[in-house]
Chains A and B, each alone.
Chain A
Amino acid sequence: MIGFYTLFRKEVLRFWKVGFQTIGSPMLTTLLYLLIFSHVLERHVQIYPGVEYTVFLIPGLVMMAMLQNAFANSSSSLIQSKVTGNIVFVLLSPLSYLEVFLAYVLASVARGLLVGLGFYLVTLIFFIVPLSSFLWVFLFTLMGNALLGSLGVVAGIWAEKFDELAAFQNFFILPLTFLSGVFYTVHSLPSFWRNLSYLNPFFYMIDGFRYGFFGISEIPPHFSFMVVTTFFLTISWLALRMLKTGYRLRH
């Protein structure tokens, strides 16, 4: 338990010590998204009746920021440790692979949460965002961040160079988050794109999370939560397997 807690704390300190880069800058980026998209689209689009477009946008942006940062945290920490070689200190230690996994994932959840919460609190100064069900907001926050933290572990172990990780992030994570219905509802898309969106796990995270705020969703939140949980369990199984067999860690 002390071992797990130490690694978790170390991982949190790692991003905390460079907080401008890991928390401040993604918060600012997300605020810029809000500023620009709401300015351009506010007068043209109303997605949910009685909900300003800007307000509609906020939960999606919160979730997107959390997901991207949860992924960035575990994946970049692992690749840095691998490339610089200091991963040996974790590998030499008697930490179990489950402890290692949980420490990296929970630190990712912590960073996602800080970025998401920080952005959300800033928006509350300017807008009134309803909160229909705290429980769903909480559940999707936890599961979404954990899923991406876990995916970050997989990507961080798999990638052998910074370039490979950047490819994973920019060609896989980024398009999936952008095309998950953060800026629009999937409902408004042509049927081909709509059906394609249903294959995107990020869609369920955004949709379910947004339900927690507006009480409106395209898919029942229970179903979305089930999909997200299934993905989380699958990716976690893969990450644990990689850690247990020492894939690309122990040669």
Chain B
Amino acid sequence: MIPAIEIKHVHKCFGAVHALRNINLEIPIGEFFGLLGPNGTGKTTLINILAGLTLSNSGSAKVMGHDVVTDYREARHALGVVPQELVFDPFFTVREILSIQSGYYGLKNNNLWIEEILHYLDLADKANINMRALSGGMKRRVLVAQALVHKPPVIVLDEPTAGVDVELRQALWRFIKRLNYNGHTIVLTTHYLDEAEELCSRVAMLKQGEVVALDSTKNLISNIAGCSIQLRLSPDKLPAALQSTMISYAEGSYILSVKDYTQIEGVLTALRVAQVRVLEMQLLRPHLEEAFIKIMNDVENQEPA
């Protein structure tokens, strides 16, 4: 089966700045994929290359098997992009914008679907209001709606929840999850790692224009983030043998890092040997955020001085 997105050996320079170095990515149809990384690492550049807004220096990119340069019309038909910048056309109302946007994709009678999008994004009561009069959050919803008018099989959301209130965030994710459930491939960039962890089945992490990690979210968390346990002890003193595993200590509770849960036994043995009693023990679920920080730091340390 053809992948939803296929990126091969993509390089991009802006003058002397190397924005992307040899990016290779394949995203199968139906996946909920996360593109993570600090600001300025090339996430948006990569999305822009997929969308045809930026031209790569070398390499190729395909959307649903269509090359974004040579077969650009088909590729753009298959793609819906929610841009990061809050852009809008001040001459039109929400409904006019969505109808114009449908026309660009060759759709004439798209009203049923437009009504549905308006409903799910909670925009129905704003449909006849001029874009200029909308708040930032509302404009963001319209951007999402615009990306969906042509029911693209691949949907790319570039930081869709930046500066958006909780209510919209939840409504948006419910809607996007539904689309994903119906077979749409979703590519998401976000700085909210809890969002990425909850939604994305697979994640790529970018740093300085390179993919530094690419794996399922589950693997990244369990392999890299490790586990941790929280302990309250009596007496309130950690045995010397366990000092090296301590992450933090605050108000009588220690947090220790363990590679995996089988190591807990070792910790308990060390405590027993030191005649320290466990008052309370809690296993802390590791999060993508820890894996992210660890990967970013590791990359930094590997760099030549």
Contacts and interface: CB of A to CB of B under 8 A. Distances in A.
B91 A89 contact: no
Interface of A: 1-3, 5-7, 9-10, 13-14, 17-18, 81, 84-86, 88-96, 246, 250-251
Given A13-B91, A88-B87, A6 B100 contact: yes
B89 interface: yes
B91 A6 contact: no
B55 A94 contact: no
Given A92-B76, A94-B77, A250-B55, A86 B88 contact: yes
Interface string B101-139: 111111110000000000000000000000000000000
Closest 7 pairs between A and B when the two form their complex, measured CB to CB: A6-B103, A93-B104, A85-B87, A94-B76, A94-B73, A86-B89, A2-B106
A94 B104 contact: yes
A246 B77 contact: no
A12 to B, nearest CB: 11
Nearest to B87: A85
Given A91-B52, A95-B104, A250-B52, A14 B91 contact: yes
Could you tell me the dominant secondary structure of chain A's interface residues? helix
B104 A251 contact: no
Nearest to A90: B104
B144 interface: no
Nearest to A85: B87
A31 B288 CA distance: 69
Interface in B165-214: none
Nearest to B72: A94
Given A6-B103, A92-B53, 10 more contacts: A1-B106, A2-B106, A3-B105, A7-B103, A9-B103, A89-B101, A94-B74, A94-B105, A250-B55, A251-B53
Contacts of A94: 72-74, 76-77, 104-106
B30 interface: no
B103 A250 contact: no
Contacts of A17: 91
B149 to A, nearest CB: 10
